[in-house]
Structure 1
Amino acid sequence: MSKLTISQLSKTYPNGVKALDNINLEIDNGMFGLLGPNGAGKSSLMRTLATLQEADTGSAQLDGIDILNQPDELRKVLGYLPQEFGVYPRITAEQLLDHMAILKGISKKSERKEMVKYLLDKVNLYDKRSKAIKGFSGGMKQRVGIAQALIGDPKLIIVDEPTAGLDPSERNRFYNLLADVGEKVVVILSTHIVDDVRELCTNMAIMNLGEIVFKGAPQAAIEDLSGKVYQKIVQREELDNYAKEYSIISNKMVGGKPLIHIFSDSNPGDGFEQVQPNLEDVFFSKINTSNILV
């Protein structure tokens, strides 16, 4: 059973932006969700763990491998699907995976051939193995991406914003594939899409402005908000007044009017109704309000 331990990891870019601010996490086998808005520092953390950039301070260990000081050792057991998975558009899926297997150090042709067939079967693309990737849909390209991330029997798999741009059926297919993969290795799913984490992950962390603002089980976080979330449809011109009076977690348009969710220890009256919280409420409570302690 693999374990990833991240201790006091920090990174400040030359322009002064503090992308990582004293990150501490322990991640076991299975699907781990890293949730946060764009610009929260998720990609900086993923790139650091994937040995694509260095941290200023701190450490990261995977089963005895010092990730920051032994990048070559980590790369041998790493599967990585970046947010922008660049491919050679004119080559086939079979050719791409064969090429990636060579780069992973699998020199025996027969071994590569067997592995490529297995991976294409696993991502349900074997019948498309001889087609150029440039003709693939977004979901098919993502499946090729996860196939290349599985080359070499990795212990750590990092997927960065994997479902952005996918239609609902492609997203469901991808969920099933990731859930299958995540049974035996550490899989970190970095995303700003709450549904990704709700569907897949038993443990999670929420990042904002380079910091971890929550870590734990999604269901436990939801239960901690139970009885404290209220909603009401208001007029748009009233939003500022409500924001001054209540701790607004989120607002979204319903029938052309804002539906606001607020945090309150007791019934606020004023036409609000109590609702069962969900992971979206947890997410926005951590990102949008500083006075909510869950």
Structure 2
Amino acid sequence: MNKLTIANLSKTYANGVKALDDVSIEIENGIFGLLGPNGAGKSSLMRTLATLQEADAGTATLGDIDILNQPAELRKVLGYLPQEFGVYPRITAKQLLDHMAILKGIVKKSQRKELVNYLLDKVNLYEKRNKSVKSFSGGMKQRVGIAQALIGAPRLIIVDEPTAGLDPSERNRFYNLLADVGKDVIVILSTHIVDDVRELCTKMAIMNLGQIVYQGSPQKAIEELNGRVYRKLVERDELKSYASGYNIISNKMSGGKPLIHVLSDSHPEEGFELVTPNLEDVFFSRINTSNVLV
């Protein structure tokens, strides 16, 4: 079985920041969402699994591959789209994928040509194959990034913050592509964007301050909040008093006023209304919400 098992993984950087704090997760085929705010440790975990940095303690295995002790074996079956996918100036999409295929060990020119054409067609960029990647939109660059991640029939694909900066139409195209890719392999989608996980994932984990604070299905996490999330439109200068009396999990501006969501086992004061919880409520209820007043 193609299973990724992470157990008690820890990593502390030289500056004293504990990026990974005893992280344990099991992931099987499909798209797995790793959700967390910036600085939660998501990229540190992705870089460790991609063999770009070593862990201080713990284990990580993909099937029979010991990721931490057999990095060369893992790289043979890894597809990786980092947060910053850099491209060579003036190189075309076809040239870029051909170059990446050579690096992945595909030496036969005819085999590379067939593979590159197939991948360009899969990510809907075949008609743009001779255009400079540098001239592509953000969404098109991300599609090239997914294409290069698919070279070599990977068993594990890691995508780190793939939709940040994409407009809504590009994001939807990327969702459709990733959903198609994630049928037969493990895809880890690391993101701080709740919509990414809501649209794509049946299994997820929430990470904060280097720790896993929730793992399970998005739907189950939402169901656990049923009957406990209330909202109210308040004045800006009332926020601090509400924060002292209620567990505010989020606030966003609505018509120039803060719309607060609070977590409560009983109905708060008059003016609050019970709402159907969503994944955003789950996210904010599971992480440190000390910044909700900012």
- The corresponding residue for 2:17 is 17
- The corresponding residue for 2:163 is 163
- For 1:250 and 1:191, the matched residues in 2 are separated by 19
1:206 counterpart letter in structure 2: I
5 Å-filtered alignment, 1:193-208, equals 193-208=193-208
- The corresponding residue for 1:35 is 35
How far the C-alpha of 1:289 sits from its partner, in A, is 5.1
Contact 1:249–1:285 (Cα < 8 Å) also in 2? yes
- For 1:134 and 1:244, the matched residues in 2 are separated by 50
- The corresponding residue for 1:73 is 73
- For 1:80 and 1:217, the matched residues in 2 are separated by 24
- For 2:118 and 2:192, the matched residues in 1 are separated by 31
| Residue 121 (structure 1) aligned with residue 135 (structure 2) | no
State the identity %.
80
- For 1:179 and 1:89, the matched residues in 2 are separated by 30
1:87 counterpart letter in structure 2: V
2:194 counterpart letter in structure 1: V
Q: 2:287 aligns to what SS in structure 1? A: helix
- The corresponding residue for 1:111 is 111
Unmatched segments (≥5 aa) in structure 1: none
- For 1:6 and 1:48, the matched residues in 2 are separated by 11
Deviation track 1:66-95 (CA, whole Å, cap 9, x = no partner) reads 000000000000000000001102110000
- The corresponding residue for 1:5 is 5
1:219 counterpart letter in structure 2: Q
Unmatched segments (≥5 aa) in structure 2: none
- For 2:288 and 2:272, the matched residues in 1 are separated by 20
- For 2:288 and 2:83, the matched residues in 1 are separated by 25
- For 2:89 and 2:171, the matched residues in 1 are separated by 22
Q: 1:68 aligns to what SS in structure 2? A: coil
Contact 1:251–1:261 (Cα < 8 Å) also in 2? yes
How far the C-alpha of 1:271 sits from its partner, in A, is 1.1
- The corresponding residue for 2:247 is 247
Deviation track 1:143-195 (CA, whole Å, cap 9, x = no partner) reads 00000000000000000000000000000000000000000000000000000
CA RMSD between the two structures? 0.8
| Residue 234 (structure 1) aligned with residue 227 (structure 2) | no
- The corresponding residue for 1:58 is 58
- For 1:289 and 1:257, the matched residues in 2 are separated by 19
- For 2:222 and 2:50, the matched residues in 1 are separated by 31
How far the C-alpha of 1:2 sits from its partner, in A, is 1.2
Moved over 6 A (4+): none
| Residue 211 (structure 1) aligned with residue 204 (structure 2) | no
How far the C-alpha of 1:239 sits from its partner, in A, is 0.3
Contact 2:231–2:262 (Cα < 8 Å) also in 1? yes
- The corresponding residue for 2:190 is 190
Deviation track 1:240-283 (CA, whole Å, cap 9, x = no partner) reads 00000000010000001000000000111331000000000000
Contact 2:250–2:289 (Cα < 8 Å) also in 1? no
Contact 2:50–2:80 (Cα < 8 Å) also in 1? yes
- The corresponding residue for 1:267 is 267
Q: 1:207 aligns to what SS in structure 2? A: strand
Aligned length: 290
What TM-score, normalized by structure 2, do the two folds share? 0.98
2:260 counterpart letter in structure 1: I
- For 1:139 and 1:220, the matched residues in 2 are separated by 31
2:53 counterpart letter in structure 1: Q
- The corresponding residue for 1:48 is 48
Deviation track 1:82-125 (CA, whole Å, cap 9, x = no partner) reads 00001102110000000000000011111100000000000000
- For 1:285 and 1:132, the matched residues in 2 are separated by 44
Contact 1:247–1:289 (Cα < 8 Å) also in 2? no
Q: 1:288 aligns to what SS in structure 2? A: coil
- For 1:8 and 1:224, the matched residues in 2 are separated by 26
- The corresponding residue for 1:130 is 130
- For 2:85 and 2:134, the matched residues in 1 are separated by 13
- The corresponding residue for 2:179 is 179
